[in-house]
Amino acid sequence: MVKMTYNFFKFSFPTFEKIEQNSELKPFWSYKDFVLDLPKKWDLSLAFLTKGVVAGFAITSQKTPFCAHLHRIMISPDWRQHGFARSLLLALKKLCKNQYHFLTLFVDSSNKMLHGFYQKEGFLPVRIEEQKTFMVCIL
Ligand SMILES: CC(C)(COP(=O)(O)OP(=O)(O)OC[C@H]1O[C@@H](n2cnc3c(N)ncnc32)[C@H](O)[C@@H]1OP(=O)(O)O)[C@@H](O)C(=O)NCCC(=O)NCCS
């Protein structure tokens, strides 16, 4: 697990791009989406490495002084069901716990499987906005 600095991201972008393009989540994130300037993003985002290669990532930023927001979490299809997303979330919660009270995210309301995944990882559904469910994890 490594913190995703801007330089690390720039150097490893081809791998990030490949993971995006092999995923079912649309629209794919482009370079521009990854580098969008958001508060504390490069302090709160993590990459998961296997054998020195990026196998997944979690992009997070500060929403308020009390709340961090997870924008995207993704594991390469080759490495799913190995507990890597769970490890990323655990590391992210540990990282955020020092500074924030809450970790939030949005998930497609129609994706019951992902709902289940996040609920198992400690997120509670709070409200639905434009077919997205807002979920909160108390840190
Ligand atoms: C969702 C995702 C990040 C999960 O990654 P993963 O590394 O395979 O997940 P883990 O192996 O850590 O799984 C942790 C637990 O969640 C379960 N789980 C994993 N993916 C799941 C899914 N899509 N639906 C339901 N449960 C799931 C696992 O079975 C495991 O539970 P268990 O230990 O009780 O068996 C991965 O499937 C992915 O990258 N999907 C595409 C991108 C995406 O949809 N991201 C989320 C929205 S930004």
The CATH code of the domain that includes 12 is 3.40.630.30
Give a yes or no: residue 54 inside a domain.
yes
24 has pLDDT over 90: no
Q: Are 42 and 6 in contact (CB under 8 A)?
A: yes
* C-alpha of residue 107 to centroid of ligand 1, in Å: 13
State the closest ligand 1 atom to the C-alpha of 88, by its place in the atom list counted from 1: 12
Protein residue closest via CA to atom 25 of ligand 1: 113
- By DSSP bridging, strand 132-138 and strand 53-64 are unpaired
Q: What is the pLDDT of residues 30-47, one digit of tens each?
A: 999 999 999 999 999 999
Structural domains of the chain, count: 1
Give a yes or no: residue 133 inside a domain.
no
Give a yes or no: residue 21 inside a domain.
yes
Give a yes or no: residue 36 inside a domain.
yes
Question: Residue 63: which domain range?
Answer: 2-100
Give a yes or no: residue 25 inside a domain.
yes
Tell me if 73 CB under 6 Å of ligand 1.
Answer: yes
* C-alpha of residue 22 to centroid of ligand 1, in Å: 15
Place 26 in a pLDDT band, splitting at 50, 70 and 90. confident
**Letter for the amino acid at 63?**
K
Tell me if 23 CB under 6 Å of ligand 1.
Answer: yes
Give a yes or no: residue 39 inside a domain.
yes
Give a yes or no: residue 17 inside a domain.
yes
> How many angstroms separate the CA atoms of 80 and 74, rounded?
9
* C-alpha of residue 2 to centroid of ligand 1, in Å: 20
Q: Are 8 and 47 in contact (CB under 8 A)?
A: yes
pTM of the model: 0.94
State the closest ligand 1 atom to the C-alpha of 82, by its place in the atom list counted from 1: 11
Give a yes or no: residue 118 inside a domain.
no
11 has pLDDT over 90: yes
Task: State phi, psi for 126 to the nearest 5 degrees.
Answer: -110, -50
User: Per the structure block, which two tokens stand in for 82?
Assistant: 């190995």
Distance of CA 2 to the CA centre of its chain: 13
